[in-house]
Structure 1
């Protein structure tokens, strides 16, 4: 089964010979190697590139252990460049190499070499690393399969595909299993033996109990406002633990750098500023999230919100959670401040969208609840409500666009409807 990942492939093709190191990063098992070593490799061959001009090294392979030495790797790559033709150098999981930044900067000095690398933690793209690259890195961020990519592979009924997708997520290898038991077993083992093992090894964490419990807390509260202090209070009341908010903040960063979770900052829409209080945490892959809690708590409204967040990130948007403050008169005639939530404030260059996720809007009362925050935003940017129902897009009397989930997910230009 071939899974088309045209968005990422096109980014690689467009970046050819741009003088930069092409850095492909994302979570473990999301398809980075397949993208470079199969899809991009085959594309190069289809354009007439000779096989000998494609130099690939899988640095996670035990057979290539010696090449994890920086000088040995550099010498090996140079030995493979046997002609003046352009050579494509593809290094998989390059963070396994000591001093890999020096190696990559050295490869940039080879005039007939075009360099592509993958890495599986976001520290690989941190400010310090980017500085060491001297601004000569071109980043391509890969996510687990979008619903469009998933559905293009499985086909069939959209409703059935959606149920499987929001249950088992979008890691490509999921598609190779036939039973739900196999899928669940794969996801649970993957998190414990790969994701968690990477974090424990990298950060030298000896007591992993609190880290594991933190992941479970986040998995049980996707879409809920949270911060380290609030989570510390949860630990204290439920787990009788004295873990500090500083330690939790550190663990949250580790999980983010391992691409387990993403953080959406809170943005004051009217004040046009970020609020350093409660944020939201979403899972990069919902299959991993569901496996962590043994596939309990399948609240479709929260899962749908996570899927929408991930889809917006895949499309290259900066996604925050919004807050709109209004004044409301109480029953006794007094004024009070009320904070309304906007699920997503979505930005890309000069574009902005305000988006609400709603499982259903069965009546006028529910419509009022879901759109109240949007109505109280006084700028002219587009306001959208995405519902689970299979409906034709329509606009209410306030000009707010209401569209179905499938229309949003399966049309990459859906926000322009």
Structure 2
């Protein structure tokens, strides 16, 4: 960052009729620290990789009527491209190998500039190994205890408190996000296993160590980023019988929405598992509707205690709130 930028910006704001845009998330100053410096005189906006609607706009596809019969096939085709490329603008339209190479460079840059250099990390290999594990396990549960044990199994003597710091730094850098279990008790919520998600599903696919990445986990990660962009307050939900719903979204005025992500409901056991979990959660929370986001399936399932709307990912991403009913 430029030295003494604060008094310079302060002088501009007092003497000139102008708008000033400041960006953060660098090795020197995060966006929330800029907001702190300019407290009371600034509005903060979170910037994410392209949403699907922004991706359509970038491609020159009119997003306002993207669901019309005339535009639907074009929109669905664009979603398949978005599924492969993700939302980082620089990689859109590139061939697969170059796209993967650039996304991998993003991964290393975030690790070394926004984390290791910024925080002067004394165990850089531990941070790198942890980041790889979390990306490999995007949309999976973790606890600080099991992460600490994993790092120790690799020979890293890192205490639990330091691992917790690493997780907080990942989130500060808008790289990896933690979602807690929904619970009226904050203590229990913090003690329960949590889930991890990445800022971009294509970044997961590009940097994960496995040859085949779990498509269901990628879809869940994609649903998370769509929700996180608009609704910071979303949690994982577990019913009294132990069944899991991927997201409970807390809206304004105390409203709640339930969202499940599942690549396909074609297999009968999968369909029963997903709908039963959602039905139980709806009953426990007094809700009459729930949503299951799939890759391509589109239907309405009437159940005894309400309605489950099954929506294809492309339609959900265009308007998450409308899709949640």
The reply to whether TM is greater than 0.5 is: yes
2:189 pairs, out of 256, 271, 275, with 275
1:380 maps to 286
1:195 and 1:258 in contact (8 A); partners too:
no
Aligned partner of 1:243 in structure 2 is 158
Indicate the residue corresponding to 1:169 in structure 2: 86
Richer in helix (by share): 2
Cα distance in structure 2, aligned partners of 1:363 and 1:286: 24
Aligned to 1:389: 296
Task: Give the C-alpha shift of residue 291 in structure 1.
Answer: 2.3
Q: Are the structure 2 counterparts of residues 105 and 380 from structure 1 closer, same or farther at C-alpha, using a change threshold of 3 Å?
A: farther
Query: How big is the shift at 1:185?
Result: 1.4
Q: Deviations over 1:27-79 (max 9, x none)?
A: xxxxxxxxxxxxxxxxxxxxxxxxxxxxxxxxxxxxxxxxxxxxxxxxxxxxx
Larger Rg: 1
1:371 to 265, 275, 278: 275
Structure ranking higher in strand proportion: 1
Aligned to 1:348: 251
Secondary structure, counterpart of 1:117 in structure 2: coil
Runs of 5+ consecutive residues of structure 1 not aligned to the other structure: 1-95, 327-338
Q: Report whether the alignment pairs 1:182 with 2:98.
A: yes
Aligned counterparts of 1:267 and 1:412: Cα–Cα separation in 2: 20
Q: Does 1:191 align with 2:98?
A: no
Which structure 2 residues correspond to residues 216-255 of structure 1 after superposition, within 5 A?
216-237=132-153, 239-255=154-170
CA drift of 1:234 comes to 1.7
Counterparts in 2 of 1:368 and 1:102: CA distance versus 1, 3 Å: farther
Contact 1:393-1:402 at 8 Å conserved across structures: yes
Question: Alignment partner of 1:276: what SS?
Answer: helix
List per-residue Cα deviations over 1:294-314 (Å, max 9, x = no partner): 573421100000000000112
Q: Distance in 2 between matches of 1:363 and 1:176?
A: 34
- Aligned counterpart in structure 2 of residue 309 of structure 1, from 191, 199, 224: 224
Normalising by structure 1, report the TM-score.
0.65
Offset, 1:369: 1.4
Deviation at 1:258, TM superposition (A): 1.5
Residue correspondence of structure 1 range 257-336 to structure 2 within 5 A: 257-268=172-183, 271=184, 273=186, 275-277=189-191, 278-293=193-208, 296-326=211-241
In 2, Cα distance between the equivalents of 1:97 and 1:280?
A: 37
Aligned equivalents of 2:43 and 2:166: distance in 1? 28
Equivalent residue, structure 2, for 1:334: none
The number of residue pairs the alignment matches comes to 305
Counterpart contact for 1:345–1:353, Cα < 8 Å: yes
Match of residue 316 from structure 2: 408
2:128 corresponds to: 212
- CA distance change for structure 1 residues 233 and 215 in 2, over 3 Å: closer, same or farther? same
Paired residues of 1:317 and 1:348 also in contact (CA < 8 A): no
Alpha-carbon distance in structure 2 between the residues aligned to 1:200 and 1:226: 22
**How much has 1:218 moved relative to structure 2?**
0.3
CA contact (8 A) 1:387 1:402 kept: no
Offset of residue 203 of structure 1: 1.3
The 1:250–1:137 alpha-carbon spacing in structure 2 relative to 1, beyond 3 Å, is same
Question: 2 CA distance for matches of 1:147 and 1:257?
Answer: 24
Paired position in structure 2 for 1:82? none
- Displacement, 1:160? 5.0
> Unmatched 5+ residue regions in structure 2?
62-72
Structure 2 CA distance for aligned equivalents of residues 230 and 115 of structure 1:
45
Partner residue in 2 for 1:124: 30
Could you report, residue by residue, the CA deviation over 1:175-225 in whole angstroms, capped at 9, with x for unpaired residues? 252x11111111122322455333222112354211111111001111111
Relative to 1, partners in 2 of residues 1:129 and 1:384: Cα closer, same or farther, differing over 3 Å?
A: same
Q: CA deviation at 1:142?
A: 1.1
Pairing 1:80-99 to 2, within 5 Å after superposition = 96-99=1-4
132 and 185 in structure 1: CA distance in 2 versus 1, 3 angstrom threshold: closer
Tell me how far apart the structure 2 counterparts of residues 167 and 231 of structure 1 sit (CA, whole Å): 29
Q: CA RMSD in A?
A: 2.8
